[in-house]
């Protein structure tokens, strides 16, 4: 929390420099913050409001609160934590993004798990910024995503880039999977049982078992763990 307090005063100083560089700011970027920690939520909003081109117009303590306010929201960027109570930040983005097509979502979190990073991006997030950085870095990330970019903290950007360094022989095997098999594999990755996957897809458990056997054969593995390790490039 001390870091956020120091960041607050740092933002004040940086705002003065920003005004000298950009004395005529006409339109501000409207931002909503979804964060369950009350102090972090309020302090982040205060920090952003010190920048003349940024405006925090809404703060929400949960994904459910944010979802309930969709019809009245007029925002350009949403900062979304991942570890929210109830509805996770990733699931919140997945549900809300179709209803807010003009809004860019940035995951603003301390989670660095690779699976969560890729799930967030697949759900519709355009950026992934870790907490603990300088206020100016967050402000620049918001400006960048609003301008059509995909801002990421260095650690996350390196992780994403590293995902493309897997062996080339792995990708043809994944491409052999049918769309249905790829969907089943995603459910397996989430830890669902065959029965639960069958319920999600409205098919029989026998059909799921058949598709899983086909997945194992095409990936040249024998277990769920081996299949997921191959997908994520783990040994």
Q: Tell me, what CATH number does 106's domain have?
A: 3.40.50.2300
Domain housing 67: 2-163
pLDDT band at residue 169 under the 50/70/90 scheme: very low
pLDDT at 167: 44
- Percent of the chain, pLDDT > 70? 83
Same domain flag for 150 and 203: no
Same domain flag for 49 and 6: yes
3-class SS of residue 26: coil
CATH code of the domain in which 177 resides = 1.10.10.10
pLDDT at 232: 73
C-alpha dihedral, 209 to 214 to 220 to 224, nearest 10°: -20
Number of separate domains in the chain:
2
Among 163, 179, 203, the domain-final residue is 163
- Using CA atoms, how far residue 75 sits from 2, 5, 27, 31, 69, in Å, is 29, 26, 13, 6, 11
- Strand pairing of 54-60 and 29-34? parallel
Among 116, 141, 163, the domain-final residue is 163
Same domain flag for 174 and 155: no
Using the predicted structure, report yes or no on whether residue 45 has a pLDDT greater than 90.
Answer: yes
Q: Is residue 29 within a helix (H) or strand (E), and if so which, with residue range?
A: strand 29-34
Same domain flag for 100 and 74: yes
Among 115, 134, 163, the domain-final residue is 163
Same domain flag for 117 and 143: yes
Judging by beta carbons within 10 Å of its beta carbon (0-12, 13-18, 19+), is residue 67 exposed, middle or buried?
Answer: middle
pTM: 0.64
pLDDT band at residue 127 under the 50/70/90 scheme: very high
Cβ contacts of 22 within 8 Å, gap of 6 or more: 52, 53
Range in 8-22, 30-44, 52-66 the model is least confident about: 8-22
- Percent of the chain, pLDDT > 90? 54
| Dist. CA 164–CA 153, nearest whole Å | 18
């Amino acid at each position: 929390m001390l870091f956020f307090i120091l960041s607050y005063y740092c933002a004040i100083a940086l705002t003065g420099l920003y005004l000298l560089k950009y004395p005529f700011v006409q339109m501000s970027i409207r931002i909503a913050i979804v964060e369950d920690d009350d102090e972090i939520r309020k302090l982040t909003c205060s920090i952003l409001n010190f920048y003349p081109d940024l405006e925090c117009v809404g703060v929400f303590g949960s994904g459910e609160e944010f979802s309930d306010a969709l019809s009245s929201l007029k925002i350009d960027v949403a900062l979304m934590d991942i570890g929210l109570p109830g509805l996770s930040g990733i699931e919140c983005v997945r549900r809300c993004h179709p209803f807010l097509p003009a809004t860019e979502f940035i995951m603003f979190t301390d989670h660095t798990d690779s699976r969560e990073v890729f799930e967030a991006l697949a759900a519709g997030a355009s950026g992934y910024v870790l907490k603990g950085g300088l206020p100016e870095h967050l402000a620049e990330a918001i400006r960048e995503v609003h301008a059509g970019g995909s801002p990421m903290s260095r650690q996350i950007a390196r992780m994403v880039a590293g995902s493309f360094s897997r062996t080339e022989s792995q990708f043809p095997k994944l491409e052999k999977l049918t769309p249905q098999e790829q969907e089943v594999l995603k459910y397996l990755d989430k830890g669902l049982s065959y029965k639960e996957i069958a319920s999600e897809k409205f098919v029989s458990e026998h059909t799921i078992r058949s598709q899983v056997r086909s997945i194992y054969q095409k990936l040249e593995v024998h277990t769920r763990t081996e299949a997921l390790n191959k997908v994520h490039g783990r040994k």
